[in-house]
């Protein structure tokens, strides 16, 4: 998918107090940046930000960190952030570097509508590949928890298999999430898929 450039994106990124430029400096001490010991939830691939921003507004006693690779997409998300939000930080980085930024401090990872990387030779790039699941192991504070939503059935089945192989117990598995759960905060992609009548797949994975 071709990304549309955002005018003045560099200015938007540079002037955002929520965007953490030196993220590796906070490895193991993100609580000090938030100035509290509240749980930390991260969304890898936050897109235009609706999901994580709405969660941060609804749950002020949880700290949220949104991660996005693309400048233009991050700039679009930044423009939606309220000025008075205290429990939201953003990081612009490639997910492959996730273990350089966090260590034993994350309570939950959200994976919402990640790139399905459909060709077999690309499967290691999937955010639920064994390569990424091994990286995530070092991020969690205690219990490892991952919540995933996707519109791609192949990615969903693949993720059920890889998560199970890494010792995760799976629950809240749904092949039509909007039919089984209607009280949810949706991302931009999810709103579009729901309007088009497409199935959304959901799972919750946990291991000690």
Catalytic residues: 115
- β pairing state of 108-112 and 144-150: parallel
DSSP state letters, 37-77: ---EEEEES-TTSHHHHHHHHH-TTSEEEEEES-HHHHHHH
Q: Quick one: how far is CA 11 from the chain centroid?
A: 24
φ, ψ at 147 (rounded to 5°): -115, 130
The torsion angle over the Cα atoms of residues 131, 73, 184 and 180, rounded to 10 degrees, is -60
Beta-strand (E) ranges in the chain? 40-44, 63-68, 88-92, 108-112, 144-150, 169-174, 201-207
CA distance 195 to 160: 26
Contact (CB, 8 A) for 159 and 132: no
């Amino acid at each position: 998918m071709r990304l549309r450039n955002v005018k003045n994106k560099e200015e938007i990124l540079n002037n955002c107090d929520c965007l953490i430029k030196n993220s590796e400096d906070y490895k193991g001490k993100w609580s000090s940046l938030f100035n509290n010991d509240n749980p930390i939830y991260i969304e890898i691939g936050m897109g235009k930000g609706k999901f994580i921003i709405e969660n941060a507004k609804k749950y002020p006693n949880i700290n949220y960190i949104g991660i996005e690779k693309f400048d233009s997409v991050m700039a679009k998300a930044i423009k939606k952030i309220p000025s008075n939000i205290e429990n939201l930080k953003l990081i612009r980085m490639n997910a492959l570097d996730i273990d350089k930024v966090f260590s034993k401090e994350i309570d939950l990872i959200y994976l919402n509508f990640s790139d399905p990387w459909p060709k077999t030779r690309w499967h290691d790039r999937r955010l639920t590949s064994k390569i990424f699941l091994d990286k995530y192991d070092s991020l969690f504070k205690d219990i490892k928890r991952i919540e995933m939503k996707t519109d791609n059935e192949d990615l969903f089945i693949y993720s059920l298999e890889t998560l199970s192989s890494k010792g995760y117990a799976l629950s809240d598995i749904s092949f039509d999430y909007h039919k089984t759960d209607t009280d949810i905060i949706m991302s931009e992609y999810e709103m579009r898929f729901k309007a088009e009548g497409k199935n959304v797949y959901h799972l919750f994975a946990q291991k000690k």
